[in-house]
Structure 1
Amino acid sequence: MDTEHSKIKKRKSRVDWQVSVLTAAIVIVSCSLIFFINYRLSYNNMIDELQSRASTIRDTLEDEMIREMFTELNVREDDQSELYQIAKDKMEDIRKVTSVRYLYTAKKTADGDFIYLVDGLPSDNDDFRYIGDLIEPECIPDLQRALNGETVLPNEINHTTWGNVFISYFPIVEDDEIAGVLGIEFDANRQYATFRTMRIVTPLVILAACFVAAFIAIKLFKRISNPTYQDLANTDFLTGLKNRNALEVDLSNFEFAGEYPFSVLMLDLDGLKQVNDNYGHSAGDQYIKRCCDIIRSCIPDDSAVYRMGGDEFIVILKNYTPDYLKDMVHIMVHKVKEENEKQAYLFSISIGYAVYDTTVDKNILDTIKRADSSMYEYKKKHKISNSDKDV
């Protein structure tokens, strides 16, 4: 019995596990694809917008750019020149209107140094750069690309020592030669934080969705395969009671939990074979069902009834006294007598009971054996009195 129940339980667990894994895999793949597509579309849209803004600013400054600054401005003292003041005023005005973080021009000196020329920040700003100040090292590779004639519009947010920024560089051409570079930097801390949160939170959401989907899938699987929500491996089909497999599981749980003491009723339907032979198996099924109704109507709600076989039943009860069990048996016998007045054939139930006793029982099986012996003693007496048609 233990082996059969173990196999059934393993098969059930295996199917549930397969359903869970399949559902989780589908959720992971579908959610990941949706996230990847939405993430990339949103991220690319943000980058495209920044690139478009940078190009618009370059176009605005293109015609007003004073090319002479790239040749006339070299050292800090040149900030006193009228050329510098005109160029700075224009750069500062554009920066305010467009809300960019940094707007500046730069060039490469004859000595190979990359230096700032005109900065659009106010002169009293802590980040303000003077003429001749060196460009930050992490900007030099992209700056060199611009000096080589390439418009640098990155596809990613730059992570610099001064924050997350979008840096674009545009070459400034004078007489078919590249005179210098226009640098435009947007503050991207907010955008970076938003997409970083998406990358962190989304996998957690997908994981939670997997658990929820797996749970729902198992419930739906059981609903589809078993619409009445019965555990078919542990349920008697005819009566709807628990079966022998269920008894073994529950007994193991009782033993494991140490749920003592308790009481046991053993019942056997007498004359079932004669009913089947004389009235047919349909009548025999009705006989079994009606006896089950009588049994259930006489026992407490916190008890469990199991159909062990064709005509054998067992009831596991909480700890009730022998006197209480005796009264319960008398009530059951009385109801059987009442039923016999309505039927063409006699109902008869042999009943035995036992209460768990630590002095004689090592475990619950010993209690069941004593209840079984009590039931057979009852059956012997019952057969004697049955000649008088007394239950």
Structure 2
Amino acid sequence: MKKVLSINSGSSSLKISLFAMPLEKRLAKIMVDYSAEAKQLVTIKLPQKSLVAEHYTEKATPVELALKLLKKYQVIAADQEIAAVGHRIVAGGELFHQSTEITPGMLRKLESINELAPLHNPANVAGIRDAQQLLPNCPQIAVFDTAFHTDLPPENFLYALPMEYYRKYKVRKYGAHGTSHRFVAQQAATMLHRPLNELKLITLHLGSGASMTAIKNGKSCDTSMGFSPLTGLMMSTRSGDVDPSILVYLLKHHAFANMDECMRILNQRSGLLGVSEASSDMREIEREAEIDPQAALAVKMFVKRICDYIGSYWLELGGADALVFTGGIGENDSHLRELVSQRLQCLGVEFQSAQNQRRDLPFDFATAASRARLLVIPTDEELMIARDAYKLITAKQLI
């Protein structure tokens, strides 16, 4: 048995899980919220124990805090027990097509493409450097969200721009959330008792960030996020698809001062928050929707854009064996799932409203006669990271 640490670094939080591999037993799950400057909220969940929350005011990095907690609660006795560390990286561009060991040269290449995910990659790199310093003799593995989408056909990843921009600047669709889409696709195959390489799936990762992927025979053939994680579906604070002429128009009319402010608005003030003008949290928006027309409009727009992509991917795949809901909204919001499912009846997709209310994930809420199964599957990006890290270091005999 080897202990593998999975690190999922974000711009204001960090998720860490420690697994016993290859048993895939989660020994601890830690969340570090360092959005507040004065203190860090750290929660740790251990098997068969209640969630523990602690506040730290000391100046320590999130990974350092996590290691202290693992020792404090006797999950590990020493850092040396950790055999490998896997890191989630949002954007690998065209440089990285699969999970890989992190070396100094690889890290320099990774930093050269920070622009592809400016809200995420710098935080991912910071997490890597932190772990390298704290665990200097431990193999570090990068697991890329974009890697799952590297097999997209050119007609699906290219933009209708001069080809020079692709050749010179590598402007293309890269997608994101690939670690999550890949995980739930594998879980869907298990639930359906069919090989993944025989399935046609539409996976819906619906959370603060939201994306959808068309998966055929185990491979991503199209995905909603594009050159960056900004485009595609509308999200909590991100705009999703927008006519670029709008941005030029608004810039000319001084709606924002410069392109940096424009990107801040598109990333942080748009989406559900921008339309509802009330909240970026779908739970709050749905509560307000009963009395607030703007909140109701935000929900309708979100549902419509999801269904637009489902229709596109249904044609891309030639039908679907299953739709898979995951992410914070996809897993927990039965009302949203029902609104989406109602619009799919023209495709022969039928759902059971009572079954859709279940809390014991995973489950299928389609009727027996439905042309596609409706699966709700909790994602586990940290487990996917641990699987890749363990597989790679075992193949390379790094442990």
Q: Same fold (TM over 0.5)?
A: no
Query: Which structure carries more helix by proportion?
Result: 1
Higher relative contact order (CA closer than 8 Å, sequence separation 6+)? 2
Specify which structure has the higher proportion of strand: 2
Over alpha carbons, which structure has the higher Rg? 1
TM range (shorter): under 0.3
